[in-house]
Amino acid sequence: MTSADHLDLQRGGSPPPNDFILLAGTWCRDQSTILLGFVWRAYDQLRRDNPYINARDLERSITQILEPRIHREMSGDEPFFIQRGPYERETMKSPPAQPPQYDLAFILNADERIMWPMEAKVLETVMAVSEYARDIQEEYLKCRYAPFSSEGAMLGYLLSGAPSDAFRNIAEKVPCELENHPGFPSRPQKLSKHVRSVPTGKPYPLTFRCHHLMLEFSGVQRVRE
């Protein structure tokens, strides 16, 4: 083995086996209604519970109280689990770089490298969508996030304004066309379809569906110190 080969193995750069790619593709197909149903029911429970939210660290604070509620909505018999803050080592750059880290992800029991990620962004107003759009453009669509997944989600923690206005601004900023999700006709949820920039030689899905959920937290304000 050459030194270059050794470095490639250290980076996890050896190509995944065909059965891994097949499993990843099967996992991603038509999972969104099941997975995001858990998220919506957890959000409903969170609103009923009305827990303390640390206004100095809103994104992490909301995500931290949402994750256990998602877990409690699941039966425990699913072939996957929910985790806050898992790392994506497939797209990690050379040390000392840190691997990308998702806010939340559903992870397949059969192979924990296969993740269906969700990224959260606090939207203080319906116009404040720049960072939200950047995560789609620079992370999802360049395959740094969700390399083996053909789907993923953005969770907008909306502090003020109407979800419809936030969706309109997101569509203009990305840009993309937002469609209704047939599984959630009464929820503030949309989906967009994209073609990704796949790195040369990588077996990542070319097409990607991004799910957009607006979780409203009216009356919550970020505190800056």
Q: DSSP for 72-119?
A: HHS-S-SSEEEEES-B-GGG--STTPPPPB-SEEEEETT-TT-EEEEE
Has residue 209 got a pLDDT over 90?
yes
pLDDT band per the 50, 70, 90 thresholds, residue 14:
low
pLDDT band per the 50, 70, 90 thresholds, residue 42:
very high
Q: What is the pTM of this model?
A: 0.90
Has residue 20 got a pLDDT over 60?
yes
pLDDT, one tens digit per residue, over 129-159 is 999 999 999 999 999 999 999 999 999 999 9
The residue with greater pLDDT, 4 or 111, is 111
